[in-house]
Amino acid sequence: MNHKRILLKLGGEALSGKGQFGIEPAAMAYLADEIERVRKLSTEIALVIGGGNFWRGNDPYAQSIDRSTADYMGMLATVINALALQDALEKRGIETRVQSAIEMRAIAEPYIRRRAMRHLEKGRVVIFAAGTGNPFFTTDTAAALRATEIEAEVLLKATKVDGVYDKDPLKFQDAKKFERLSFRDALMMEGVRVMDDAAFAICGEHHLPIIVLDFSTPGAIERAVRGEKIGTLISD
């Protein structure tokens, strides 16, 4: 059976394509097409998108300024990405709403849980921007929080690799892929960072499964929504 409601977590790098900065039109079009395929399954879709294609917290300059200021700058980068993705989806006839955790009423709705759920029930795609609205929390944590709040059935973590490995598969040919992990196992893994501890804690406490998959594989998101075995499942 198809999942009825999902939250898709995308890194900002998904929009930069082969580049490392900004938004690449081809990458944006690809993501919009993948989301459109899922919409045709009558699945309610919410998204949280990062801002790494504009601002990275581990860059030397970001680390040289006040942490709270750097985090707020990152939140604003996510708003840029959310608006760009909204535009791409609406050009395909998909009604979309951007809700921001930092109020900016001229360009986005404020985040209101009940309003977000109502949009989803009406078939609109909802993009959550500006993280949690607070510094010191990642967009992974924001994704876990929003997924729990809107009662999503699963959190899809879209990355550059097709699951969780015991070491970086882009560097080590003998890396072993896990088809399934418990929250505890994922937390205890050394040298492999899937999501931050706060995100795992939220998902674990609320029994929200996570599927880690490769967004660059056409149809991967759709297959996960259909309930097919893909990527790595992290659950109880």
Tens-digit pLDDT profile for residues 181-231: 998 888 888 767 788 889 999 999 999 999 999 999 999 999 999 999 999
Tens-digit pLDDT profile for residues 78-121: 999 999 999 999 999 999 999 999 999 999 999 999 999 999 99
How many structural domains are present in the chain? 1
End-to-end CA distance of the chain: 20
User: Quick one: which of 44, 48, 40, 38 has its CA closest to 4?
Assistant: 44
DSSP per-residue string spanning 168-234:
-TTT-TTPPEESEEEHHHHHH-SS--SS-HHHHHHHHHTT--EEEEETTSTTHHHHHHTT---SEEE
CATH number of residue 32's parent domain: 3.40.1160.10
The amino acid at residue 31 is L
- Rounded to two decimals, the pTM is 0.94
Which structural domain range is residue 97 located in?
A: 5-235
- Averaged pLDDT for residues 142-155: 98
- What tokens were used for 98? 């951007």
State the angle between helix axes of 67-90 and 25-39 in degrees (0 to 180), rounded to the nearest 10. 70
Q: In the chain, where does DSSP find H-type helix?
A: 25-39, 60-64, 67-90, 113-121, 139-149, 183-188, 197-205, 220-225
- Averaged pLDDT for residues 167-173: 83
Tens-digit pLDDT profile for residues 19-39: 778 999 999 999 999 999 999
